[in-house]
């Protein structure tokens, strides 16, 4: 039982460190550890710096509350990740193969059109975490997916073209939706509101965001708060088929995108 106990704690710590490294919390954790070490060294058993030790201990007591406030987005994402059951099949698992291919083809056709014509588009693929509150900010359609419908939605001048389209359970559930913007300060200044909204929604959910730049026609994909750019149509098609057809598709597709398609992340540009 001791071995099992240590193994569980080791695994939890390992996963927590991995989660922290993927977020902006890494630098804040380093600062907190420095304060913790300084408080230990200034204690009566070592350097006996009473005044400094008193200040540091008081700061850490308030620091715990501050960390909870500062890390609220990360804590929410972590709890949502823990709450996702691996025994629950993805929403798209029940779609038959022919329908899945047809849906993927429609989305790919629309994205290809957007890229060639340099039409800005933001398509969100909802997964286990529902986004009903986001959908309420737009217009609920709950219609069949077709390339023509997507083209009409994102046609410049159309009433819903500035918002995001949400795909839920093989349906175009809503359009014209307002998404939360990412608070990541390390992103390239070349990324506009559409890209920041796509990244933002993947920070708050396990959704996948397809983004087409209005200025350059570059196709990008965001997942888990990270952005992969310069994707081609074949890359998008493979990813969609993997999502629609594979009942064991992993929640995090970022590594899959990087390994299969060679897209560049925002950190590599």
Q: How far is CA 71 from CA 76, 206, 216, 267, in A?
A: 8, 18, 35, 22
Element (H, E) at 140: strand 139-143
- Which pLDDT belongs to residue 87? 42
Q: Phi and psi of 247, rounded to 5°?
A: -75, -10
Between 38 and 22, residue with greater pLDDT: 38
Query: What pLDDT shows up at residue 5?
Result: 93
pLDDT 10s digits, 136-180: 999 999 999 999 999 999 999 899 999 999 999 889 999 999 999
Would you state the pLDDT for residue 80?
65
211 phi and psi, to 5 degrees?
A: -130, 130
Q: What is the pLDDT of residues 92-129, one digit of tens each?
A: 656 788 888 999 999 999 999 999 999 999 999 998 88
What is the spatial distance between Cα 94 and Cα 105, in angstroms, rounded to a whole number? 18
Q: 36 pLDDT band (50/70/90 cuts)?
A: confident
Domains and CATH numbers, the chain: 2-83 (no CATH), 91-265 (3.40.1700.10)
- pLDDT tens for each residue of 45-58: 888 888 988 898 88
Cα 221 from Cα 131, distance rounded (Å): 18
pLDDT band at 74 (very low <50, low <70, confident <90, very high): low
CA dihedral 64, 66, 67, 69 (to 10 degrees): 130
Q: Is the pTM of this model over 0.75?
A: no
- Residues contacting 147, CB < 8 A, separation 6+: 106, 107, 109, 110, 113
**Higher local confidence (pLDDT), 157 or 24:** 157
Sign of CA dihedral 260, 268, 227, 79: positive
| Cβ proximity of 202 and 208 under 8 Å | yes
At residue 111, the pLDDT reads 97
Q: What is the pLDDT of residue 188?
A: 87
Q: How far is CA 191 from CA 122, 161, 204, 218, in A?
A: 13, 18, 19, 11
As a whole number of angstroms, the distance between CA 23 and CA 197 comes to 17
């Amino acid at each position: 039982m001791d071995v099992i106990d240590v193994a569980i704690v080791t695994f939890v710590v390992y996963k927590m460190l991995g989660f922290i490294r993927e977020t902006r919390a890494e630098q804040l954790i380093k600062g907190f550890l420095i304060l913790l070490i300084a408080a230990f060294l200034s204690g009566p058993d070592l350097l006996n710096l009473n005044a400094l030790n008193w200040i540091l201990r008081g700061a850490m007591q308030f620091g715990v509350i501050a960390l909870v406030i500062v890390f609220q987005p990360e804590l929410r994402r972590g709890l949502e990740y823990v709450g996702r059951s691996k025994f629950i099949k993805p929403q798209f698992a029940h779609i038959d193969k022919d329908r899945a291919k047809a849906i993927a083809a429609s989305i790919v056709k629309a994205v290809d059109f957007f890229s060639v014509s340099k039409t800005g588009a933001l398509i969100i693929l909802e997964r286990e975490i529902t986004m009903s509150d986001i959908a309420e900010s737009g217009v609920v359609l709950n219609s069949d997916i077709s390339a023509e419908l997507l083209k009409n939605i994102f046609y410049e001048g159309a009433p819903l073209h500035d918002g995001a389209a949400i795909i839920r359970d093989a349906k175009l559930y809503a359009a014209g939706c307002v998404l939360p913007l990412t608070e990541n300060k390390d992103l390239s200044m070349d990324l506009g509101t559409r890209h920041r909204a796509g990244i933002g929604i993947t920070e708050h959910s396990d959704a996948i965001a397809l983004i087409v730049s209005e200025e350059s026609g570059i196709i990008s994909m965001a997942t888990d708060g990270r952005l992969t750019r310069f994707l081609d149509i074949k890359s998008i098609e493979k990813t969609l088929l993997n999502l629609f057809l594979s009942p064991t598709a992993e929640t995090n597709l970022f590594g899959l995108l990087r390994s299969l398609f060679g897209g560049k992340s925002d950190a590599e540009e």
